[in-house]
Amino acid sequence: MMTLDEKFKAIGADNAPGQEGRQKIDNLDSMMRGEKIAGVLVDFSHGDVDAFAPTPGSDALWMQGYQKGAAQAYTQYRGSAEIAQGLAERLGAFTGRAIAADSELIITPGTQGALFLALGALVGADTKVAVIAPDYFANRKIVTYLGGIVVPIPLHYGKGQSQNGPDLEALERAFKEGVEVLVFSTPNNPTGVIYSKESINKIATLARQYDVSVIVDQLYSRLLYSGESYTHLRACESVPKNIITIMGPSKTESLSGFRLGVAFGSAALIERMERLQAIVSLRAAGYNQAVLSGWLDETPGWLQERIQKHEAIRDDLLEIFNTAGLITAKPQAGSYLFPKLPPLDVDITLFVRLLRHQAGVIVTPGSEFGPTTHDSVRLNFSQDHDNAVAAAKRIVSMVQRYKK
Amino acid sequence: MMTLDEKFKAIGADNAPGQEGRQKIDNLDSMMRGEKIAGVLVDFSHGDVDAFAPTPGSDALWMQGYQKGAAQAYTQYRGSAEIAQGLAERLGAFTGRAIAADSELIITPGTQGALFLALGALVGADTKVAVIAPDYFANRKIVTYLGGIVVPIPLHYGKGQSQNGPDLEALERAFKEGVEVLVFSTPNNPTGVIYSKESINKIATLARQYDVSVIVDQLYSRLLYSGESYTHLRACESVPKNIITIMGPSKTESLSGFRLGVAFGSAALIERMERLQAIVSLRAAGYNQAVLSGWLDETPGWLQERIQKHEAIRDDLLEIFNTAGLITAKPQAGSYLFPKLPPLDVDITLFVRLLRHQAGVIVTPGSEFGPTTHDSVRLNFSQDHDNAVAAAKRIVSMVQRYKK
């Protein structure tokens, strides 16, 4: 088993999205090819909540919570029973299977909190965990910190939509070889690929067959582009005994500054997650929980407009990257693009730092998302449209300057 | 090593403060001696932020943070650099030793979050951790969850102030026998005992001598009663290499609904805590962090008034318990009382449930705080003064009804 020292090396956060401000910039000037490229700084490491503002009325809901006083400040660890009731109804309707508010749902500090608690409830020393590659960067790190063993499962994402998805043969092999937990995101972060109905059904069947616990991160499942369809694992006819679905209002709804997430599923797991939350952070901030009462209950048309605007940015950026020959899967949902860069004369970490220093563009290196994607970068394109387009063009210019 | 099942049994939250609403009440009526005792429900499991309101202006600070938008929503994982700067200055002045804002401080989701991260940075499989008994209930649970081994160290608290404090001989023995980490709170939760200058100096010396890392939870160190003095471990002449101090505005300042805490100390540990925070919850809620800019910078006189009011409640409750013969240490700081009950005809868990059901008083059983204090109950007396006095009298009546 890994020592604590080794674990903390493995969960290094230097290149994690949002941490760029802490990187030391040494001599980047001397390594620059050509001059700086002017333009408004665009931080693609996360969505810009100034460009896409929090759901209207969120601050008023917060203030109502604050004014409610003690009853809102100190909820049970799994969150306010009243708010959980409304969430269970709306999330049950959204995902196609009922949720018992009292026993099958927990409110967490962000979906990050939900993910840590869900894995923390299932992964101990030497637990084998199937982790899709590429996928959300924290999955792998959490498993490693908890002492589990990461079993990577490839995701196909560059082949055209009908062939995209997880390698189900590799998954079944892993299940046969003792994997006890599967964690994945759909829509996939960082590629925007949605797992097809067939893939989801097969995962459900395999998980039941091999008694594997499944954690599905559906953070982006509301931001679904035209013509796409989405399958909720929890609504399959045959579902695994242990299944946790994770959602939250941090992305589509731009409520990340409130740190709110929700996990729902098997009561025994939710119970464990609550015990863990009691020692990790007690509860999601009480007043903030009040904002969840407006979630999945927005003004009619609000979501549609938000989707249309993101789809327009997606299309423009895709065209820029495709025209420049950067292979990029077409996101079916969510706001991530994951272009693959050609071979460069500098390593990807340095290129990403130069991109920030020289061209005012922040992206996350693909190495954060898995062992095989160091030649890609991730962009969260929930940004001001014009600024995002200009920044994408600067990325292309930079690639041309540094390519082999 | 413990299995996950065993760990989750050990971190059960059924009797934890604030979870009383989830307990099933079976047949309590049939077990009642005498009738119900009327009175306003008082929940001593935590402070009442309606009785002692959040620091004036906290909601306005929050709203400023919200209106700041993206810059406040997405801080670095260790928290807003600007807010950290002010905190480092004020906490450095308060604790008597300078803090480097950029490297020695992290903002966390509550002090609970800080405690989990600090222990998570230091405790792996089989790490021996000295845990004071009694002390904050989560210390023991976190160590257990992380796979560490709890080595209990007795705290003397019923003997009169000059003799109160940790058993330093037991502590040195534990250090000699391979303890690598010490975690404790001063003022102690649940007794209100402050560690004397001599104890703190001795702990610092021993920790250096045996190379033990120390986590000091100073959550209540501002709420200091008349005539008392407080020694900050981190300001000692000789301090251990690895030391983390934890504070937060949840108690004295009633800002618990914001879930804000701060840890400061050795840069290498803060770095580890940030890596862990990145996978546990990303960051303390961004908008909420803005409220910290008013902390330790309140209107002159505000703190003094808050202390006086708490001191008056403390004195009244102490007199009620002492008159009834319930042995209770006099809290030197903070808002906890920890009366010892005489032998009862019912076990303490049942008594606590009856107290809630029959007398409208919620307290936390002493068994949550250590292996030797199952005959005590903890009260957080940060409550409406009159209601608290009436509820304390109901506790005495109930003890009389159920005593052997």
ipTM reported for the complex, 2 dp: 0.97
User: How many other CB atoms sit within 10 Å of the CB of residue B74?
Assistant: 21
The minimal CB distance from B11 to the residues A13, A113, A275 is found for: A275
In chain A, what are the domain boundaries?
4-53+301-402, 58-294
User: How many other CB atoms sit within 10 Å of the CB of residue B27?
Assistant: 7
Calpha distance A338→B104 (Å, rounded): 35
Q: What single-letter amino acid sits at A15?
A: N
Check CB contact under 8 Å for A116 and B280. yes
Q: What is the pLDDT of residues B328-351, one digit of tens each?
A: 999 999 999 999 999 999 999 999
Pick the CATH number of A58-294 from 3.40.640.10, 3.40.630.40, 3.20.20.150, 3.40.190.10: 3.40.640.10
* Shortest CA gap A56–chain B (Å): 13
**Number of C-alpha atoms within 13 angstroms, CB side, residue A341?**
33
Please tell me which residue of chain A has the smallest CA distance to B138. A279
Contact list, B110 vs chain A (CB under 8 Å): 281-282
Calpha distance A321→B133 (Å, rounded): 62
Please tell me which residue of chain A has the smallest CA distance to B111. A281
* Shortest CA gap B277–chain A (Å): 10
Residues A229, A96 contacting (CB under 8 angstroms) = no
Residues B359, B347 contacting (CB under 8 angstroms) = no
Confidence class for position B13, pLDDT limits 50, 70, 90: confident
More confident residue, A238 or B186: B186
pLDDT at B23 over 90: no
Using CB atoms within 10 Å of the CB of residue A362, give its burial: 0 to 12 exposed, 13 to 18 middle, 19+ buried: buried
Check CB contact under 8 Å for A18 and B125. no
* Shortest CA gap A101–chain B (Å): 13
SS3 state of residue B152: strand
User: What integer best gives the mean pLDDT of chain B?
Assistant: 96
- Distances in Å between the Cα of B264 and the Cα atoms of A270, B276, B297 are 32, 15, 18
* Shortest CA gap A193–chain B (Å): 23
Contact list, A103 vs chain B (CB under 8 Å): none
**pTM strictly above 0.90:** yes
Calpha distance A281→A276 (Å, rounded): 9
Check CB contact under 8 Å for B281 and A142. no
Check CB contact under 8 Å for A49 and B66. no
Check CB contact under 8 Å for A73 and B8. no
Per DSSP (E only), the strands in A109-240 are 128-133, 149-156, 165-166, 181-185, 213-217
Range B4-53+301-402: architecture per CATH: Alpha-Beta Complex (3.90)
Residue B324 confidence (pLDDT): 97
Helical segments of A101-161, H only: 110-122, 137-145
* Shortest CA gap B261–chain A (Å): 10
Percent of chain B at pLDDT above 90?
A: 92
Region B179-193 average pLDDT = 98
Count contacts between A and B (CB, < 8 Å).
187
* Shortest CA gap B114–chain A (Å): 8
Q: What is the pLDDT of residues B302-323, one digit of tens each?
A: 999 999 999 999 999 999 999 9
Write the CB contacts of B93 (distance below 8 Å, at least 6 apart in sequence): none
Contact list, B74 vs chain A (CB under 8 Å): 18, 46, 49, 256-257
Report the candidate in B307, B157, B145 with the shortest Cα–Cα distance to residue B226: B307
CA A119-A125-A128 angle, 5° bins? 65
Calpha distance A347→A343 (Å, rounded): 9
Contact list, A257 vs chain B (CB under 8 Å): 65-66, 72-74, 285-287
Residue B163 confidence (pLDDT): 85
Residues B352, B361 contacting (CB under 8 angstroms) = no
The minimal CB distance from B279 to the residues A69, A142, A147 is found for: A142
Residue A162 confidence (pLDDT): 80
Please tell me which residue of chain A has the smallest CA distance to B136. A279
Check CB contact under 8 Å for B275 and A122. no
Q: What is the pLDDT along chain A (404 residues), one digit of tens a residue?
A: 789 999 999 998 777 777 777 777 678 999 999 999 999 999 999 999 999 999 999 999 999 999 999 999 999 999 999 999 999 999 999 999 999 999 999 999 999 999 999 999 999 999 999 999 999 989 999 999 999 999 999 999 987 778 899 999 999 999 999 999 999 999 999 999 999 999 999 999 999 999 999 999 999 999 999 999 999 999 999 899 999 999 999 999 999 999 999 999 999 999 999 999 999 999 999 999 999 999 999 999 999 999 999 999 999 999 999 999 999 999 999 999 999 999 999 999 999 999 999 999 999 999 999 999 999 999 999 999 999 999 999 999 999 999 99
Check CB contact under 8 Å for B257 and A81. no
Calpha distance B107→B79 (Å, rounded): 5
SS3 state of residue A1: coil
* Shortest CA gap B337–chain A (Å): 20
| Torsion from C-alpha of B282, B288, B292, B295, nearest 10 degrees | -140
Residues B133, B301 contacting (CB under 8 angstroms) = no
Probe site for chain B from A136, A282, A380, A383 (most B CB atoms < 10 A): A282
Are both A4-53+301-402 and A58-294 of the same fold? no
Report the candidate in A21, A24, A12, A11 with the shortest Cα–Cα distance to residue A45: A21
The minimal CB distance from B70 to the residues A48, A122, A283 is found for: A48
Place of tokens 């898995």: A370
Write the CB contacts of B6 (distance below 8 Å, at least 6 apart in sequence): none
Check CB contact under 8 Å for B124 and A288. no
Calpha distance A82→A93 (Å, rounded): 17
**3-state DSSP percent of chain B in helix, strand and coil, to 5:** 45, 15, 40
Probe site for chain A from B253, B280, B380, B384 (most A CB atoms < 10 A): B280
Q: What single-letter amino acid sits at B153?
A: I
